[in-house]
């Protein structure tokens, strides 16, 4: 009987996708709270409302579970930002603003996911650091695509080389990462405030900020 | 006799500070090459030209040795940047340029140290991740001090709050970190090129770059 296994585990019958989502949600919370080494499969199962054998059946091991968390959260973040940036008809600064606002809002709304992604994934050694680096490269490539489009549209775009674009994308991703960590840890800083700071930094530049000239919508 | 201990270890007599420096140099190379877990005390001792017992006598454990590497390299980096930035009489953009050029040159000239500092220290878990974060906070505070000075000097400086300054420093440090990693891994990218990219990004801003307006010395 199909229900046999879950009955043994003493859990209610739910579609596998729903169960897996519950497990990953619980895992992200536990990993963010205790770190990879200390988080226990017992606590994750309890928080997900399932038996521990079911967690192993679906996600195989703690290592696989952690990797699945990194993948899911990175994909969710990228999808959110890509969705917000919208189509190329919108002016590049508006697209950047929309992307940054979506990014900081997502990081603020999912602080546990952001801790797992930006910190745990890197600080728990291999193979997670490589997985995190792969996701980071994907996001940097996406941002480079945006900057490249903007450069091609701009009148003097020809002056910005492919390598410039890649380097600027690295700088932008690095600054966004650092600022999101700071914003989430600093009481009272909103996602909108963090996005505005980075928009001013990245688009207007420090030189203009010092003269009191900030980025503003046209 | 004072020489007794070193004679037993079968090494030539050298001042302790010199020996320690040799050990740390060798350790940075080995850690960068193999990672913290895989690097062996045997190889570090051999590369330093000393006996393994002497390494343990001076640096106590692999963990202490790694922590000493992180501290030494972070302090060296900070001292280099602080020295290059110079005094407050110089215009803020010139100081930023000098600091960035010194930073990227240091990272390029000491690629092993940069790997240990920016990657190994974080990816090898605790207690190193906390030590690396402490050093990073120190550098961010130094950069915030510079941006704060520049803001106070600027006519409209009052419009930039303390929190803005802290946030901008986080963004700048994050972008510098990301770009240094990319520059060291990308063949043909010089320290000067990376510094110029970040100077344009951080001072002129993407908005001006898209219009073909780059930062230039006055």
Inter-chain touch B172–A167, beta carbons under 8 Å: no
Same domain, B89 and B172: yes
Q: How far apart are CA B56 and CA B65, in angstroms?
A: 9
Nearest-Cα distance to chain A for B174, in Å, is 4
Inter-chain touch B122–A126, beta carbons under 8 Å: no
Same domain, B76 and B52: no
Domain range enclosing A180:
71-210
Number of independent structural domains in chain B: 2
Give the nearest chain B residue to A92 (CA atoms).
Answer: B207
Which of B84, B75, B87, B35 has its CA nearest to residue B191?
A: B84
* Residue B37 in domain: yes
Same domain, B48 and B17: yes
Give the nearest chain A residue to B177 (CA atoms).
Answer: A174
Averaged confidence pLDDT in chain A: 87
Same domain, B49 and B153: no
Inter-chain touch B178–A157, beta carbons under 8 Å: no
Which of A23, A31, A20 has its CA nearest to residue A116?
A: A31
Among B125, B154, B209, the residue with its CB nearest the CB of A210 is B154
Query: Helix/strand/coil (H, E, C) string of chain B?
Result: CCCHHHHHCCCCCCCHHHHHHHHHHHHHHHHHHHCCCCCCHHHHHHHHCCCHHHHHHHHCCHHHHHHHHHHHHHHHHHHHHHHHHCCCCCCHHHHHHHHHHHHHHHHHHCHHHHHHHHHHHHHCCCCHHHHHHHHHHHHHHHHHHHHHHHHHHCCCHHHCCHHHHHHHHHHHHHHHHHHHHHHHHCCCCCHHHHHHHHHHHHHHHHHHHHCCCCCCCC
Find the distance separating the first CA and the last CA of chain A, reported in whole Å: 64
Inter-chain touch B126–A123, beta carbons under 8 Å: yes
Percentage of chain B surpassing pLDDT 90?
55
Same domain, B43 and B85: no
* Residue A216 in domain: no
CATH code for the domain in which residue B43 is found: 1.10.10.60
* Residue B33 in domain: yes
Window 21-80 of B: residues touching A by CB (8 A cutoff) are 35, 37
**pTM as predicted:** 0.86
Same domain, B107 and B24: no
Same domain, A54 and A76: no
Same domain, B49 and B147: no
Same domain, B136 and B194: yes
For the cut 50, the answer to whether the pLDDT of residue B6 exceeds it is no
Per-residue pLDDT reduced to its tens digit, B10-66: 456 788 999 999 999 999 999 999 888 889 999 999 999 999 999 999 999 999 999
Same domain, A14 and A88: no
ipTM score: 0.84
For the cut 70, the answer to whether the pLDDT of residue B140 exceeds it is yes
Q: How far apart are CA A205 and CA A210, in angstroms?
A: 9
Same domain, A51 and A79: no
Owner of token pair 């908005």: B207
CATH code for the domain in which residue B174 is found: 1.10.357.10
Q: Which of B174, B182, B211, B218 to mutate to probe the A interface, most A CBs <10 Å?
A: B174
pLDDT: which is higher, B209 or A4: B209
Which residue among B27, B60, B93 closes a domain?
Answer: B60
* Residue B89 in domain: yes
Same domain, A105 and A48: no
Which residue among A12, A37, A60 closes a domain?
Answer: A60
């Amino acid at each position: 009987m199909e229900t046999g296994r879950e009955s043994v585990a003493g859990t209610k019958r739910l579609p596998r996708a729903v169960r897996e989502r519950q497990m990953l949600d619980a895992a992200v919370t536990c990993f963010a709270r205790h770190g990879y080494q200390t988080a226990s499969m017992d606590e994750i199962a309890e928080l997900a409302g399932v038996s521990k054998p079911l967690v192993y059946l679906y996600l195989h091991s703690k290592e696989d579970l952690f990797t699945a968390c990194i993948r899911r959260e990175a994909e969710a973040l990228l999808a959110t930002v890509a969705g917000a940036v919208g189509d190329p008809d919108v002016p590049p600064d508006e697209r950047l603003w929309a992307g940054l606002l979506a990014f900081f809002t997502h990081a603020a709304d999912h602080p546990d996911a952001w801790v797992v992604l930006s910190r745990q994934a890197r600080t728990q050694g291999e193979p997670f650091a490589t997985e995190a680096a792969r996701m980071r490269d994907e996001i940097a490539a996406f941002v480079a695509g945006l900057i490249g489009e903007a450069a091609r549209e701009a009148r003097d775009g020809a002056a910005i080389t492919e390598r410039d674009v890649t380097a600027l994308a690295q700088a932008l991703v690095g600054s966004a990462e650092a600022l999101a960590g700071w914003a989430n840890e600093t009481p009272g800083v909103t996602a909108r405030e963090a996005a505005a700071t980075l928009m001013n930094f990245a688009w207007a530049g420090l030189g203009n900020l010092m003269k009191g000239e900030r980025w503003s919508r046209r």
